[in-house]
Structure 1
Amino acid sequence: MPRTTRKATIYDIARLSGASPSTVSAALGESWRKRRIAESTVEAIRQIAADQGYSANMQARGLRKARSGLVGMVIPLHDNRFFSSMSQSFEAFARERGLVPVIASSMREPEEERRIVETLISYAVDYLFIAGATDPDAVTTMCRSANLRHIFVDLPGRGAPSVVSDNAKGAADLTRRLLADHPMTGTTPRDRIYLIGGDATDYASAQRIAGFRAVLTESGLKPHPDQVIACGYAPRSAMREIAALCDRLGGLPAGIFVNSLTVLEGVLNHLSGLPLEDLRASVIGCYDYDPFAAYLQFPVHMVRQDAHGLIREAYRMIDENSLDLVLKMVEPELIAPRTFYDSPFSDRG
């Protein structure tokens, strides 16, 4: 069987052997007898592993008798204010505890996420934090095989404690604020508020959409299916969708709920070509936060997730040795907008 040019992973061996990743992990460790895996299966898996040049750090397996003093964190991206703030807090809390932080980005790729987790396990990290996990079940399988305590942050996992933003409440607060600033009757399509961006199958977006729709309902504004435009997070996609929406409506809608900063980037690319009076006649909110929004020439309400609070709560669970599969919610903060003319860069007045 030909050797691969990169380091083989448990998932490569699972694919080649036809066994599950958890079976491969047990066969390469010491738990295969306990799981009653056939010896012939174990031998076949180990032979494939040898052919592929797979090696596992046995220090990271079994009882993990020694502490390394390392604590690992996987984040989706570095060039994102929310995740960069989270990693800074993670590092600060680690150093307070005398631990050395190790942080890596998965680029939102499940295979890369698994590779990073496997590498961190091989370095015998004492704990592992996974932010915005793309494949939480696979991460839990790997961590349990290595007897490694792990915790999910931002997006939940079923196999370990999770600390996430209260996305539904944050979206509800933002929607109420938009409605308060610009009461809408909903009698015509243009006289409605529209949520744009995100993936309806994604946990965070699904919670935000639920909060958005709940407030419309409680306000007597029956949600219409076309009021949610879940077009993903890419700026170009958002720019196309907001342009198409304005074409359909004959102008800007009464309100826009933007589902992330990257989506806001695309929306602003379209809005920048519109008359300022049109922008000020609409109310705009963003479920994300960037202080530079204060210098726009029209107000934008924003929701700031508590990155520091999420990490603080995750470390508290680690410190208390909490093994319960709890889902802890941390409330985000609604930030009141400043207009361009409130800023020190304005020469008006």
Structure 2
Amino acid sequence: MSDRKKNRRKKSMNQKGDAAVGQAEDEENADFIIVSFTGQTWHFEAQSLEDRDSWVSAIESQILASLQSCESGRNKARRSSQSEAVALQAIRNAKGNHLCVDCEAPNPTWASLNLGALICIECSGIHRNLGTHLSRVRSLDLDDWPGELTQVLAAIGNHMANNIWESCTQGRTKPTPTATREERESWIRAKYEQRAFVPPLQPSPGPQLPDDGMPVWMLSAVTERDLPRLLLLLAHSTKERINAPLTGDASPPHSALHAACQLGDAVMTQLLVWYGIDVKAKDSQGQSAMKMARKTGSKGCIDILLQHGCPNETSPTTATPVLSRRSSTASLGRTSSRKRVS
């Protein structure tokens, strides 16, 4: 279609005796724009119209090949689509999940896995910039969702998350759905990076709790199946505090991860692993968390441990599954005299 328009324009210009100007204009616009399904654009300028058309043809072929590959995988995905749809609806139904956890925009479609919260697309970009050690971002609509991930999101939800991350806002105003990117970023970085609104571990003034106590407190929270308390401890933690060595009478029989696997609690197991607990640590009897999970028969805990490098004594470890993108439509269009590839 673009070639026909180009020829018609040249013909019209030649009839007016202005062929040289028409050719110059075409050569001047030998460029094209690639547009992603999220609206991002990349502008490229070719050396000639022929080069431009060759590039567009090659890109178009790759889009077609990608869509055909997605189509072949779609049949397999359909078999599990119903159960996944039920799991995703459970996430959407979690308390507070009808609004973005950070700006309260309605119907958020993105998630922060380790925070257990739903976020809107505007806030999701800022979460990605925080780094995966603070926020692991996934799309409800575009990504596949293994069972252990949906369990975490359904168990926590925005209400529970904000009871921790926004407990003490100190009078600071929360951004609205119409907030600028700068306003959102200032709030989100203060909330998760600086942990400015997280309540203290102890309500009354007193001496600061020692770092090496964190493993004991986490073990207690897991043993008592107290998820909000565990989330608060994790919000105050670093990888070093979670794995602080204990000696003497204060040393627990095993780690919080051992306890979570012994209980078969995939949610707590996944959270502890995301926040950096040592999956290879042995308890006082020389047993690994994997051995605990196998005794319990918890496939969810076993899968999580294998995905994050815990040694498997009975079979080779499996690769960490990749959350694949679902297929999206693609099209070729043209704006003015530029080619636009989506």
Shorter chain as denominator, the TM-score bin is under 0.3
Structure that is richer in helix per residue: 2
| TM-score of the pair, normalised by structure 1 | 0.27
Structure that is richer in strand per residue: 1
| TM-score of the pair, normalised by structure 2 | 0.27
